[in-house]
Amino acid sequence: MTTSTQDSTQQKIVEKVWDYTKHAKFYEYRPNYAPSSIDMLAFLVKQSSQTTAPKVADIGAGTGNLSIMLLERGCKVVAVEPNDAMREIGIERTKEWAQKGQIEWVRASGVDSTLASGEFDWVTFGSSFNVMDRQSALCEAHRLLRSSGLNGGGGGESSRVCGITGI
């Protein structure tokens, strides 16, 4: 079995074990992220990307809790969510922003998002990082980030982990 096949098989097992379908309708009632923390991070991303509307890949977006907070702070969001029930609720909750072209929802996993490389100023994982293969998720985040993106480019730990050289 190749590493890619092993990673894919492992991710499918993780998604089955961590299936949130039965809990999706309750997810929007979970305690939210600290607004002041999101404010500070959004400010830093806007400064580093030199834009007032940074493009964010929200991986494992669930029902949209973090995506909504990012939208409220002027970010443009691509919400990646593999679970149909969670994603459908998220789509419903963010439909006003979708009509303005501020959010797009994608059915994919956090380790294979299907998103274009180097297109994002920020990659977020909200409450999803713990259910993914961490190395694969970090490599995917690194692939998605622009060279000026938060934690993107410049090498560092994610470059070493992903086997990326010459950055």
Query: Would you give per-residue pLDDT tens digits along the chain (167 residues)?
Result: 455 555 555 555 545 555 666 665 666 667 778 999 999 999 999 988 888 899 999 999 999 999 999 999 999 999 999 989 989 999 999 999 999 999 999 999 888 999 999 999 999 998 877 778 889 889 999 999 988 665 544 444 445 456 544 43
Q: State pTM to two decimals.
A: 0.77
What is the per-residue pLDDT for 139? 92
CA dist., res. 151 & res. 158, Å (int): 9
What is the per-residue pLDDT for 25? 64
Secondary structure, 3-state, 37-75: HHHHHHHHHHHHHCCCCCEEEEECCCCCHHHHHHHHCCC
CA dist., res. 44 & res. 149, Å (int): 10
What letters, b where the CB count within 10 A reaches 16 and e where it falls short, cover 99-138?
Answer: eeebbebbebbbbebebeeeebbbbbbbebeebbbeebbb
Q: Could you tell me if residue 154 is left (phi over 0), alpha (psi between -120 and 50 degrees) or otherwise beta?
A: left
CA dist., res. 105 & res. 108, Å (int): 9
Q: 3-162, what's its fold?
A: Rossmann fold (3.40.50)
